């Protein structure tokens, strides 16, 4: 009868994201939350201020308070006192960013270009990295136990997300403040897995993702029966051709973490409402097959994350999917176009372009420093007020025809990589008696802020596109070396 005494009082408990070495967002009211006995009185104190915050745990034992943080600095301590006391040490105050997405966000520093030298020099104790442990499921998780904050050093930097690391390194250097990265990413995952279930369910355009998944679950049984019958037939008669291919439903069935909403549940929900400056996102490769749905899915996910963090203005900066030899190059181009439309239409977003750093043979290009730094340029200009920092490459303005040559006008002065000829342009035309557009490669020369584009075989150009299907040849840059945005557009016909 002695054991009961220890169970009478539930100790105050914090989620994993509150620990030693953490970074809190500067100059904001940061949320601090956890669990305790219902009705338990909790006091939260940050050593940077004499003021503490007191509150009472609700009927279910949940509590949440808000603490005002000062300008960047530290180290400080954070004290949470209820029936027991927790003291967190080496707490820094600075800039906190959530970094999420699929394998190109996952790719570690050690797998990226110039890794050895980079890791050796990664003695950056003011950059802290919190990796959300991989977990997924049909219900929303309220914690990610086992995840922890680490100080960046040559011992651990090699395992960090390269994009997140290079981003953090640049803003740390330019702002001269501590940086906290909350990393939650998983390779080969589609955007719907990172989107809250209610958002998908309540939108007829998005519930299709839930229906598709259900169909996969429904079909995998009969696919399995048919497949194993075919395999056993093939084994008996090995003179037959190659082994039957696994049904596509198997691919999904073996990867339950691709299911709609499950990664939002397991890896995003546990860190809400931790106070942050914004989001970085590198994903899209797994949604190429449904490129035409991408804009709506992507913008809905962004809006829902912002609303869960109770701030509809949180910056959301993302990376354009890199050039790669997808089985459907046009679908990949349409996905990039939809990413461009998100950047154009959803406030406080920005896109880092990767036209020039991809590899048609490898979906995981190793040039991650460029990606992280391009995201940092966007943040420096748009979030941190460095108005002279150029963060975007040349953008298409209009295309006008004059004597069979198309004048493509951009908003910045144009250059090409290593002074080569301008590449990556195609001209669209219709053949006599046909209604469908054909595209042919085009010649191009640069004149300051415009490009003259032509194809001697095409007398009546109707459409122009750049970095679309022959993205590998696209080589337009601005003075800072940032690539031009891909585009596809009708040509305005101006009669001289």
Distances in whole angstroms, Cα of residue 249 to Cα of each of 187, 194, 255, 257, 461? 19, 20, 10, 14, 44
Q: 440, 429 in Cβ contact below 8 A?
A: yes
Two tokens at 104?
Answer: 């190109």
**What is the percent of the chain with per-residue pLDDT over 90, rounded to a whole number?**
87
CA end-to-end span of the chain: 99
Three-state SS for 8? coil
1 pLDDT more than 50? no
Torsion angle of C-alpha atoms 409, 392, 345, 338, degrees rounded to 10: 80
pLDDT at res. 385: 97
Give 74-78's long-range contacts (Cβ < 8 A, gap of 24+). Answer: 74/48, 74/178, 76/46, 76/47, 76/48, 77/46, 77/47, 78/18, 78/22, 78/24, 78/32, 78/44, 78/45, 78/46, 78/47
Two tokens at 199?
Answer: 């958002």
* 493 band by pLDDT with thresholds 50, 70 and 90: low
180 pLDDT more than 90? yes
79 versus 490: the higher-pLDDT residue is 79
Q: E strand or H helix at 222, and its extent?
A: helix 207-236
Of 146-155, 185-194, 431-440, the range with the lowest mean pLDDT is 431-440
Torsion angle of C-alpha atoms 380, 281, 304, 15, degrees rounded to 10: -90
Two tokens at 109?
Answer: 């520093």
**Model pLDDT for residues 367-415, shown as the tens digit of each residue:** 999 999 999 999 999 999 999 999 999 999 999 998 879 999 999 999 9
Q: Which of 28, 33, 41 is nearest to 64 (CA)?
A: 33
Q: 227, 244 in Cβ contact below 8 A?
A: yes
| Cα–Cα distance for residue pair 61/10, rounded to 1 Å | 9
- The mean pLDDT of 189-218, rounded to a whole number, is 97
**Model pLDDT for residues 291-305, shown as the tens digit of each residue:** 999 999 999 999 999
* Average pLDDT, rounded, for the chain: 94
DSSP 138: S
| Cα–Cα distance for residue pair 122/308, rounded to 1 Å | 34
260 pLDDT more than 70? yes
| Cα–Cα distance for residue pair 88/12, rounded to 1 Å | 13
Distances in whole angstroms, Cα of residue 102 to Cα of each of 287, 311, 377? 11, 24, 22
pLDDT at res. 5: 40
- The beta strands (E) that lie in 114-242 are given as 124-131, 149-152, 179-185
C-alpha of 161 from chain center: 12
240 pLDDT more than 80? no
* 9 band by pLDDT with thresholds 50, 70 and 90: low
pLDDT at res. 75: 98
The verdict on whether omega for the bond into residue 127 sits within 30 degrees of 0, i.e. cis, is: no
Q: 476, 487 in Cβ contact below 8 A?
A: no
- The mean pLDDT of 431-436, rounded to a whole number, is 88
2 pLDDT more than 50? no
Two tokens at 458?
Answer: 């095409």
* 473 band by pLDDT with thresholds 50, 70 and 90: very high
**Model pLDDT for residues 317-339, shown as the tens digit of each residue:** 999 999 999 999 999 999 999 99
């Amino acid at each position: 009868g002695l054991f009961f005494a220890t169970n009478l009082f539930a100790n105050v408990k914090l989620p994993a994201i509150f620990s030693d070495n953490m970074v809190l967002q500067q100059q904001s009211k940061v949320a601090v939350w956890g669990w305790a006995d219902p009705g338990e009185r909790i006091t939260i104190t940050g050593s940077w201020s004499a003021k503490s915050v007191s509150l009472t745990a609700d009927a279910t034992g949940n509590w949440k308070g808000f603490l005002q943080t000062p300008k960047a600095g530290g180290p400080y301590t954070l004290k949470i006192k209820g029936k027991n006391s927790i003291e967190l040490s080496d707490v820094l105050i600075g800039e906190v960013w959530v970094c999420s997405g699929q394998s190109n966000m996952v790719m570690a520093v050690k797998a990226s270009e110039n890794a050895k030298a980079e890791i050796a020099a990664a003695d950056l104790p003011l950059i802290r990295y919190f990796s959300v442990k991989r977990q997924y499921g049909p219900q929303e998780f309220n914690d990610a136990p086992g995840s922890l904050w680490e100080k960046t050093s040559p011992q651990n930097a090699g395992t960090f997300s390269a994009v997140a690391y290079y981003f953090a390194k640049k803003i740390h250097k330019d702002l001269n403040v501590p940086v906290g990265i909350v990393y939650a990413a998983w390779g080969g995952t589609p955007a719907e897995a990172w989107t809250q279930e209610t958002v998908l369910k309540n939108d007829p355009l998005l519930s299709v993702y839930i229906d598709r998944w259900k169909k996969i679950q429904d079909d995998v049984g009969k696919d399995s029966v048919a497949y194993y019958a075919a395999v056993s037939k093939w084994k008996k008669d090995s003179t037959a051709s190659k082994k039957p291919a696994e049904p596509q439903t198997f691919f999904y069935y073996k990867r339950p973490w691709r299911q709609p909403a499950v990664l939002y549940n397991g890896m995003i929900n546990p860190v809400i409402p931790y106070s942050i400056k914004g989001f970085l996102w590198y994903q899209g490769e797994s949604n190429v097959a449904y490129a035409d749905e991408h804009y709506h899915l992507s913008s809905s996910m962004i809006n829902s994350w912002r609303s869960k963090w109770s701030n509809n203005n949180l910056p959301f900066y993302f990376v354009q999917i890199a050039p790669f030899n997808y089985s459907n190059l046009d679908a990949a181009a349409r996905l990039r176009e939809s990413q461009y439309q998100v950047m154009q239409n959803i406030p406080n977003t920005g896109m880092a372009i990767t036209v020039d750093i991809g590899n048609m043979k490898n979906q995981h290009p190793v040039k991650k420093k460029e990606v992280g730094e391009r995201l940092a340029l966007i943040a420096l200009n748009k979030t941190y007020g460095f108005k002279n920092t150029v963060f975007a490459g040349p953008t298409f303005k209009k295309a006008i025809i004059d004597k069979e040559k198309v004048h493509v006008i951009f908003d910045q002065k144009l250059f090409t990589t290593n002074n080569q000829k301008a590449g990556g342009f195609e001209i669209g035309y219709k053949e006599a008696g046909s209604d469908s557009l054909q595209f042919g490669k085009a010649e191009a020369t640069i004149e300051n802020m415009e490009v003259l584009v032509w194809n001697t075989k095409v007398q009546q150009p109707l459409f122009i596109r750049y970095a679309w299907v022959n993205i590998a040849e696209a080589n337009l840059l601005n003075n800072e070396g940032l690539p031009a945005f891909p585009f596809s557009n009708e040509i305005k016909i101006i009669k001289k």
